[in-house]
Amino acid sequence: MYSDLEKSQLQILIISNIINRIVKKAALITNYDLIKIEIPHKEKEELESLMRLYKKLTEKNNCNIKSTKLSTETEFGLCNFFYNTKNYDDALEQIDNVIKLQPANTKAIYCKAIIQESAGRLEQAIVSCERILCIDRYNTSTIHHKGILLSEMTRREEAIECFDKILSINPTHIPALYNKGLVLLEMTRREEAIECFDKILSINPTHELAWQNKGMALSEINPQKAIDCFNKVIRINQGNIPAAYNKGLMCESLEHFDDAIMCYDVVLRINANHLPSLFHRGIILTKVGLSDLAMASFDAVLNINPNHMLALYHKGILLSEMTRREEAIECFDKILSINPTHIPALYNKGLALESLDLFEDAILCYDKIIECDINYGNILCQKGRLLSSIGRYNDAIECFDKILSSNPINTNALYYKSCAMLKGGREEESFNLLEVMISMDSRYKDVLRDEKDLDEFKIDKRFSRLVN
């Protein structure tokens, strides 16, 4: 008869052999390299079930079981398995088993860093990289990976130190030059970033990403030189969407609108659903007065993403300009259903409602803006003008007084306040205020002279004295 311990040993031996067979069959045993591989569902379930049983048995008999432990190769194969199934805790447990047996195995420790990074444990991954560098201080792959991790954590100066250390060992190390350039670009140290990309291009003149990012670095400094870089990318790879799109943005910034549209059209031939290109195409067509074509571009964006805020907003503005104000209001309302405090949408909805003589609704829009930002002086002025136009002069004056309480020399507010006072029967005060205001800015003489709302007051001698 077998003892319980002997039975457990036999079970573990059988399970170990099956696990080893499955791991080998799935090609998961490698030379300490993590691989991406599709594991059939049946084998995945079988291996997970066997591992649960194996753990249960080994934990139960941990003190007495020695000879039936899994081999180091199988342990790493299981690490590969769990890495592929995104079961990172189990993957780390398996790789730790390997490292316990082979503490100087830098390839295994590097795999641990990769798994920790995949699990979002970047600090732990850096610790693993540092452990490797204690064994092999000139391991450039590890120094580079540590730099990448630091840059992901926005510890940019430390990341640059890593890349510089590599470049002190190998000045032509292209990945270090490239990633140093990217970090410098994130820090808006554009000239230094361009130096990195130029060094890469002196080694490899067809390095697509170096040209691309050099173009990005130049985009705010010299748009034309940026276009030259994007053209280089396109010559290397005609299907490079970011290069064609960014070239379009540069052409747009230089007001080369035909060239910009050609770039966006190139992108859209490759990817008809490229939202940024569709949107910018609509913006340019609006600028050049092709309203119907612009509308079609915004509609194409909204067919793909009905909640695209910028497309909704610019479509609303375009509809307002085309005097299709009810439709414009629908666009602004859609924005406000997503973001009830979207100030530009509230403001332009208010203007559209004013045009439809829906004055009280317009005032509600302006009040909502003022509620969001009491310092929004332009809105107080707009509300005051509207209140004045519908005969609510005292309410209008209250709006202008709020502006003047924080800025007593706001001539715009002074002007409209004086107009409201004049129309509200406070003529003496109004003329005194207008006199002060004109002494501050004589251009308001012409404004007053042309103001049609004040025609009934123009026969007053005091008015004539002010404007002449």
Which residue is it, tokens 């007065």?
289
The reported pLDDT for the residue numbered 67 is: 46
Which residue is it, tokens 């001698």?
461
Asked whether the beta carbons of 184 and 193 are under 8 A apart, the reply is yes
The reported pLDDT for the residue numbered 69 is: 67
Closest to 348 measured CA to CA, from 317, 390, 310, 308: 317
- Considering the chain, what is the average pLDDT of its residues? 88
pLDDT of 154 > 80? The answer is: yes
- The mean per-residue pLDDT over the stretch 116-145 comes to 96
CA 97 to CA 66: how far, in whole Å? Answer: 14
For 79-118, list the strands marked E by DSSP: none
The reported pLDDT for the residue numbered 319 is: 97
Torsions phi, psi for 188 (to 5 deg): 55, 30
Sequence-ordered list of residues with C-beta below 8 angstroms from that of 367, at least 6 positions apart, any chain = 383
The reported pLDDT for the residue numbered 196 is: 97
Question: Tokens representing 110?
Answer: 């590097």
The reported pLDDT for the residue numbered 375 is: 64
CA 87 to CA 44: how far, in whole Å? Answer: 12
The tens digit of pLDDT for each residue in 408-448 reads: 888 888 888 888 887 888 888 887 887 877 788 778 777 77
- In eight-state DSSP terms, residue 219 is T
Q: Which CATH number fits domain 1-137: 1.25.40, 1.10.10, 1.20.120, 3.10.20?
A: 1.25.40
Q: Which CATH number fits domain 383-468: 3.40.50.1370, 1.10.510.10, 3.50.50.60, 1.25.40.10?
A: 1.25.40.10
The reported pLDDT for the residue numbered 334 is: 97
pLDDT of 460 > 80? The answer is: no
Q: Write down the domain spans for the chain.
A: 1-137, 383-468
The tens digit of pLDDT for each residue in 261-289 reads: 999 999 999 999 999 999 999 999 999 99
Please, which pLDDT band fits residue 51 given cuts at 50, 70 and 90?
Answer: confident
Asked whether the beta carbons of 179 and 163 are under 8 A apart, the reply is yes
Ranges 82-86, 124-128, 152-156, 227-231: which has the least confidence: 82-86
Ranges 80-89, 254-263, 322-331: which has the least confidence: 80-89
Please, which pLDDT band fits residue 137 given cuts at 50, 70 and 90?
Answer: very high
Please, which pLDDT band fits residue 456 given cuts at 50, 70 and 90?
Answer: confident
Contacts 24+ apart (CB under 8 A), 246-250: 246/212, 246/215, 246/216, 246/219, 247/215, 248/277, 248/280, 249/219, 249/280, 250/219, 250/223, 250/224, 250/226
Ranges 210-224, 317-331, 438-452: which has the least confidence: 438-452
The reported pLDDT for the residue numbered 60 is: 62
The reported pLDDT for the residue numbered 280 is: 97
The reported pLDDT for the residue numbered 66 is: 45
Asked whether the beta carbons of 91 and 99 are under 8 A apart, the reply is no
Ranges 43-47, 190-194, 354-358, 428-432: which has the least confidence: 43-47
- The mean per-residue pLDDT over the stretch 129-135 comes to 96
The tens digit of pLDDT for each residue in 362-398 reads: 999 999 998 887 566 688 888 988 998 898 989 888 8
- The mean per-residue pLDDT over the stretch 45-53 comes to 69
CA 454 to CA 222: how far, in whole Å? Answer: 51
The reported pLDDT for the residue numbered 263 is: 97
DSSP element (H, E) containing 52: helix 41-60
The tens digit of pLDDT for each residue in 179-207 reads: 999 999 999 999 999 999 999 999 999 99
- In eight-state DSSP terms, residue 39 is P
Share of the chain above pLDDT 70, in %: 87
pLDDT of 59 > 80? The answer is: no
- Say if 1-137 and 383-468 have the same CATH topology: yes
The tens digit of pLDDT for each residue in 312-324 reads: 999 999 999 999 9
The reported pLDDT for the residue numbered 327 is: 97
The reported pLDDT for the residue numbered 376 is: 66
Ranges 162-171, 281-290, 311-320, 447-456: which has the least confidence: 447-456
